[in-house]
Amino acid sequence: MFKIVKKRELNQHVTLMEIEAPRIAKKAKPGQFIILRINEFGERIPLTVADTNQKTGAVTIIFQIVGKTTMDLNALSEGDSLLDFAGPFGVASNLDGYKKAAVVGGGLGTAIAYPQAKALFNQGAKVDAILGFRNKDLIILEDEIKAVSDRAFITTDDGSNGTKGFVTDILKKLIDDGNSYDVVIAIGPLPMMKAVSNLTREYGIKTIVSMNPVMIDGTGMCGGCRITVGGEMKFACVDGPEFDGHLVDFDEAILRSQMYKDHESKAAKRHVCRMEGMQNG
């Protein structure tokens, strides 16, 4: 069993948890992920490692409440435990040698981009962080990101905070203004990573994206997480999760991310009914 030692709501849809898992905390590096299962009946879901604490043996995860499993996860409190917690999976980010980077986070992707920004910043790179959210209530990790970047830019789709518009607008402006980045790290929803990759391709700037497809085992056994990169089949769990954004077939990845949409909504609906039933009863 893996104890939840800390829980913090970052906004109404996004929660941070620290999970006691000393073996994993000792090994996990930025870019890697864990797989958890809440209970006997639960699904295995992958979540990126947002941070680790060697001293306390805790692994930080940040998740958005999107379906049954994340709803159930969010219903747990400090002191509760998860049945299964395994990892670290995937290849760690290789950030060696980058001197000037743009780190682009979209929504929850900000949580996944944070460790990269931190690692780059700590190795002495200049970091421009560009974070995009739908509206001001959904902004997360603003202070944390600011602490590990030279400049931080916030956009909201509705203009309720920062610049109205998309992260790509800011990134384009920064590039056009003469900022020459060695690398752009873009982490967020698939359409956002696609848009950033399309933009940076024009400028020939190396772009790293983090893929988070459906998977079961995380060791290359099921092949459910396969994506096409540079015309070749890759498994996000063992070959990634980070890939060259200019080579990823995002359209295919977007279609594949829809595979269980109807199951998810069915499970979530049933869950809500049950919860309401419990409250009413």
Among residues 147, 266, 272, 273, which is the contact residue for other proteins, using CB under 8 A? 266
| 30 neighbors 88 (Cβ within 8 angstroms) | no
CA–CA distance, 122 with 139 (Å, rounded to integer): 24
Strand pairing partners for 104?
130, 186
Select the residue interacting with other proteins from 57, 228, 246, 247 (CB under 8 A): 228
The answer to the question of residue 191 lying near other proteins (CB under 8 A) is no
> CB-wise, 202 or 232, nearer to other proteins?
232
What is the spatial distance between Cα 185 and Cα 129, in angstroms, rounded to a whole number? Answer: 10
- Give the C-alpha separation, 74 to 272, whole Å: 13
Q: Which is nearer to other proteins, 165 or 224 (CB)?
A: 224
85 counts as binding other proteins under rule CB under 8 A = yes
Please say which residue, 147 or 233, places its beta carbon nearer to other proteins: 233
Q: What is the dihedral of CA 96, 97, 102, 108, to 10 degrees?
A: 0
Under the binding rule (CB under 8 A), the answer on residue 88 touching other proteins is yes
Q: State how far the Cα of 130 lies from the Cα of 188, in Å rounded to an integer.
A: 11
3 state DSSP class of 160: coil
Contact 156, 167 (CB under 8 A): no
Q: Among candidates 64, 34, 36, which has minimal Cα distance to 51? A: 34
Q: Does residue number 263 form part of the binding site for other proteins (CB under 8 A)?
A: yes
**How many residues bind to other proteins according to rule CB under 8 A?**
42
Which of these segments, 95-103, 145-153, 192-200, 262-270, binds other proteins (CB under 8 A)?
A: 262-270
Q: Could you tell me the smallest distance in angstroms from the CB atom of residue 153 to other proteins?
A: 34
Q: Is 44 in the site for other proteins (CB under 8 A)?
A: yes
Stretch that binds other proteins, among 10-18, 126-134, 176-184, 249-257 (CB under 8 A): 249-257
66 sits near other proteins (criterion: CB under 8 A):
no
In the list 12, 41, 177, 204, the residue contacting other proteins (rule: CB under 8 A) is 41
